[in-house]
Amino acid sequence: MTMSPHNAPIVEPVPVEDPYAPPKGMDRVVDHLKREWQLYVMLLPLIIWLLLFLYKPMYGLQVAFKDYSIFKGVANSPWIGFEHFETLFGNDQFIRAIRNTVIISFWTLVIGFPVPILLALMFNEILNATYKKWSQTIVYLPHFISSVIIAGIVITAFSPSAGIVNTFLGWFGVEPIYFLTKAEWFRPIFVGTGIWQEAGFQSIVYLAAIAGVSPTLYESAVVDGASRWQMMWKITIPSIMTTIIIMLIIRIGNILEVSFEMIILLYQPATYETADVVNTFIYRQGLQAGQYDFAAAAGLFNAVIAFVLVISANALSRRYSRTSLW
């Protein structure tokens, strides 16, 4: 309260909170939880799964910096710092595994990444509904077949005695080739098998993106006299470019995650020179040789490189295309 020049008291107004004003700070969070609690209850099982199977195992990463003993446990094993990493980078087999992983992943990305996009574009151009459904089913089918069966098909197909590939080559007078025992043939066979198995299923993402393109764009193009080829290049591909970039970022992040099961099923000591990758190296060192701490160091290195690749690819995409995961 203050006094006016005429000695009359002036009563200052007391601020009154607006009952219709939106809540602020923590009140906003509590209010949101009260309104949407059903959604968070549905989300709870996934959060528990993430904590138990993805975050809790991170406690074991310290094994990479310890002289681990199964009798002492993770907590009581002595710390040795970066000794395992120094041994790792001096190991010729690990260097070979990194080189093979990068080469296989590079060709899988260069050759395999565009194939699902091309399949989606081709499926989108098929006008006969029955033929479209059957062709999609045939292309999707390999994804749902077990890797063991896929490996069996590959071994049978490239068999030097009765394989369809050597039989076909025999018609032209070519002697049987032992494809799966020759190091130079492993990478082409592995990359081709992976594309055949997964390209159809991966095309579903791009088909969904194409389905979201506004039909009015195509109608306007038809009025302007555009051909199907022009509509594909001028409308379809630019409209799904965001999806393509996001999928590319994800693929770059998984560039070191070569299909472990398929390599284990197809490779052998004769093809280690070109077939041995980081994951198979970790498998041999950890499970077969019992060097859990050494294998953990290799796995941690693999994860760090993948993390750096995702961050870098996302930053480059955000800078040059204004599209990113975050």
73-90 residue pLDDT tens: 888 889 998 888 888 888
Per domain, the residue ranges of the chain are: 21-55, 86-321
**Cβ–Cβ < 8 Å for 4, 10:** yes
Confidence of residue 291 (pLDDT cuts 50, 70, 90): confident
245-263 residue pLDDT tens: 888 888 887 777 787 788 8
- Token reading at 151: 């490996």
- Token reading at 141: 């089918």
pLDDT value for 11? 55
Confidence of residue 7 (pLDDT cuts 50, 70, 90): low
Q: What CATH number is given for 86-321 in this structure?
A: 1.10.3720.10
Q: Where does residue 242 rank: exposed (0-12), middle (13-18), buried (19+ CB within 10 A)? A: middle
**Cβ–Cβ < 8 Å for 262, 147:** yes
pLDDT value for 205? 92
**Cβ–Cβ < 8 Å for 203, 120:** yes
213-232 residue pLDDT tens: 888 988 888 888 888 888 99
**Cβ–Cβ < 8 Å for 116, 208:** no
Confidence of residue 16 (pLDDT cuts 50, 70, 90): low
Q: How far are the Cα atoms of 63, 106, 165 from residue 169, in angstroms, in the given order?
A: 51, 29, 6
129 vs 116: CA distance, rounded Å: 20
Q: Per this entry, what is the length of the chain?
A: 326
Average of pLDDT values for 303-320?
A: 82
- Is pLDDT larger for residue 180 or for residue 326? 180
131-177 residue pLDDT tens: 988 999 999 999 999 889 999 999 999 988 888 998 998 898 888 88
**Cβ–Cβ < 8 Å for 9, 15:** no
Q: How far are the Cα atoms of 151, 183, 308 from residue 192, in angstroms, in the given order?
A: 12, 15, 28
User: To the nearest whole number, what is the mean pLDDT of the chain?
Assistant: 85
Q: If you ran DSSP here, which 8-state letter would residue 178 be given?
A: -
